[in-house]
Chain A
Amino acid sequence: MTTPHTTWHADDDLLAAYVAGELDPIGGASVEQHLTRCAECRVRIRPLVDVPALDRTWLAIRDTVQSPVLPLPIRVARRLGLPEPTSVLLAATASLRTAWLASAVVALAFAVLAAAWSSDGVIAPFLLVAPLIPVLGVAAAYGPHEDPLESLVVTAPYGRTRLILLRTLAVLASALPVAVPLGFLLPGPVWLAVAWLGPALALVPVLLALASFVGPRAAGATVAIGWSAVVLGSLRPLPATWPVEATQQVVYLGLAALAGVVLYVRTRHDRQIGAVL
């Protein structure tokens, strides 16, 4: 395709006047029609416009077109209204990865099966496993050992406290929808399906408080052992539902409150949880 108007070109003064908005509408329209057709004048108008603004816009375009398609968890988080940096951090959380969630579901499913198959309504396997899933999920969420983002997280000007709380919430939000329905498959009273949430939620602040002293791994192990001791210790002498009955729930609540206070004090002292975890 050849350009029909090859003999006439807008001169630099005309182009400058056009860019400055000094042409009347008809002159401006004439220049515009010419520019649409004339590659040469399009080249000559380049130095006359706001070049720094063009460069900035190009950087924004390049960033947009070069960013890879985001993984599904990030897109889901973004769809839920979280800002992109938060979504990326969440998606990088070790315990939010498919492998971790899958293993949690499998463990829980076996616990439910074990409980359902036992003739005398032993629900200990479920009570043992279910509350520990969110706890260990949180413990794994910010462990420096397997987190590829850890070096970034440490240096990023992003509140570590906020990150930990965010990840904790995200772990709960992803583990609970799986765990609660499985709980309904348990033999025994229906309230069992949700009763285990008491210790599960109480153990999270306990874990965080412990982690502020000994780190997430040791804290996770301690909480797991402690909880196993409670469940297994109650196995013989007490009714199966003892670990999640009302009185015990109050104790867990007290523990959670105590852990909250410890965390608060530690945080006050060190400015933020992130500094102690």
Chain B
Amino acid sequence: MEAIRHPGPTPDAPEQGDTALVARVTEGDTGALRELYDRHAAWLQARLMRRCNDPEVVADVLQDTFVALWKDATSYRGDGEVAGWLWGIAFRRMVSRLRKRKDVVLLSVWEGPARAQLDRTLVPAAEDQALLGVEYGDLAGALRRLSPEFRAVVQAVVLDGLTTREAGRLLGVRENTVKTRLHRAKAQLRGSLAEAALEDWR
């Protein structure tokens, strides 16, 4: 696998466009809704499918998400990326929809052999460095070294964007437990990454 490197700056990211589209949706513009759907439905579908491998559930959640966007676009405050906001809606819908189903695991199983090992060096920038407050490092390795409970919390809160309260409900622990685990997990991650960076530097 080869990562594609683009020389120079990429064309203007359409985040501004997304925000403008959401504004048009608040005015009842179905064309804008369609454009947002074209831009975001595909990756949302892929990401939802990784949480619940049932196409019907995923289709329902997608539909709910965009209908919610239509009815409630004004709740977008414009302080983040539209993509992240949409994922927040979609994932919360999925969590509440699947609350009664015990057979679905909304968090990835982190243990066990991966079906295709990914060469970590290919995805350095894909990792969420800014979010975790580090410049560079083997984040994947650091995540891997976390205990399963900590990883679950990091996934639910940091990666999937749930609040600590929602994560607590999803994981079946109290909100304070989530907060504590998250705090410690972040500290551990920072520690691992600092160590790795130090080794690199040497």
Contact = CB atoms under 8 A, between A and B. Distances in A.
A58 interface: yes
Interface in B87-137: 87, 108-110, 114-118, 122-128, 130-131
A105 interface: no
A13 B122 CA distance: 12
Interface stretch (B10-18, B174-182, B189-197): B10-18
A65 B67 contact: yes
B149 interface: no
What interface size band does chain B fall in? 35 or more
A176 interface: no
Interface string B118-162: 100011111110110000000010011000000000010001000
A19 interface: yes
Nearest to B113: A24
Interface stretch (A43-51, A70-78, A88-96, A152-160): A43-51
A24 to B, nearest CB: 3
Contacts of B41: 54, 57-58
Nearest to A61: B66
Contacts of B124: 8
B114 A27 contact: yes
B15 A1 contact: yes
B125 A54 contact: no
Nearest to A56: B59
A3 B15 contact: yes
A26 B47 contact: no
B42 A42 contact: yes
Contacts of A29: 108, 143, 155, 159
A34 B47 CA distance: 12
Contacts of B67: 61, 64-65
B42 A24 contact: no
A43 B39 CA distance: 7
A5 B125 contact: yes
A247 interface: no
B76 interface: no
B45 A54 contact: yes
Interface residues of A, number: 55
Given A3-B15, A8-B5, A21 B50 contact: yes
B118 A58 contact: no
Interface in A95-143: none
Contacts of A25: 108-110, 114, 155
B9 to A, nearest CB: 6
Given A25-B108, A42-B39, A64-B63, A2 B155 contact: no
B30 interface: yes
Interface in A2-60: 2-11, 13-14, 17-19, 21-40, 42-43, 45-46, 48-51, 53-54, 56-58, 60
23 contacts: A1-B16, A3-B10, A3-B13, A8-B124, A9-B4, A21-B53, A22-B116, A27-B140, A32-B47, A33-B159, A34-B126, A36-B84, A40-B13, A42-B83, A46-B42, A49-B43, A53-B45, A53-B59, A54-B45, A58-B41, A60-B59, A60-B63, A65-B70
Interface of B: 1-6, 9-10, 13-16, 18, 30, 33-34, 37-43, 45-47, 49-50, 53, 55, 58-59, 62-63, 66-67, 70, 81, 83-84, 87, 108-110, 114-118, 122-128, 130-131, 140, 143-144, 155, 159
Interface of A: 1-11, 13-14, 17-19, 21-40, 42-43, 45-46, 48-51, 53-54, 56-58, 60-62, 64-66
Q: Sort A-B residue pairs by CB-CB distance and give the 5 closest, nearest first.
A: A24-B114, A27-B118, A34-B126, A8-B125, A25-B108
